Copies of this chain bind each other. A is one copy, B any other.
Amino acid sequence: MIEVEIKVNLSNENPEKILESLLKMGFLKKEIKEQTDTYFNGIDRDFQITDEALRIRCSKTVGKNDEKIYVTYKGKKLDGISKTREEIEVEVFEVNSMHKIFEKLGFKPVRPIKKVREIYQKEDIEVSFDDVLDVGKYLEIEKVVSNNFERESALFELLDLLKSLNISTDKLEKRSYLELRRGNRE
């Protein structure tokens, strides 16, 4: 599974106008998620340098008691524009034991990234309005493809959508929320 994903900073944009355009295009509101992501640094290598990530995500729908926990490994980015990477994910039953196992193995956790994510969907494209604590407001556009052949055309499709929303590609942000928070405050 490859997640083709682009992200833009909303600080100088008008989110209401963007949402209006999305709804006109046929996007429908899917849900609002509260997500807490704990990232770990590598044991034998610095994931900041190798551009990898190990994450435990706790995700729940606002207003529901449906918390789910995922462990995700992300490989390094595959191109110079998007945030596309190989991603391997598995759901686990309990967060504390998983966290402890990674720590015992030698992975170093960093302070969790907390965000509220409002998700809109049309067919296989998801657009999320992310409000990230200590980072800011961002728009993520994502499509999951199964192989490298589909990757390029998916990326063009997402960039087309960005254009339709009147957002310049100058606003594209490749850095993760973790990297952005580091740049902002840490």
Residues of A within 8 A of B (CB): 42-45, 52, 54, 71-73, 75, 88-94, 97-98, 100-101, 104-106
| Chain B residues near A97 (CB-CB < 8 A) | 88-90
Which of B44, B54, B73, B94 contacts A90, CB < 8 Å? Answer: B94
CA distance A13 to B96 in the complex (A): 42
Asked whether A104 lies within 8 Å of B89 as measured between CB atoms, the reply is no
Known contacts being A43-B43, A90-B94, is A71 close to B101, with CB within 8 Å? yes
Would you call the interface of chain A mostly helix, strand, loop, or mixed? mixed
Known A73-B101, A98-B71; contact A44-B88, beta-carbon cutoff 8 A: no
14 A-B residue pairings within 8 Å (CB atoms): A43-B43, A43-B106, A44-B44, A44-B106, A52-B104, A54-B101, A54-B105, A71-B98, A73-B100, A73-B105, A89-B97, A90-B92, A90-B101, A92-B92
Residues of B within 8 A of A91 (CB): 92-94
Closest to A75 in B: B104
* Chain B minimum-CB-distance residue to A90: B97
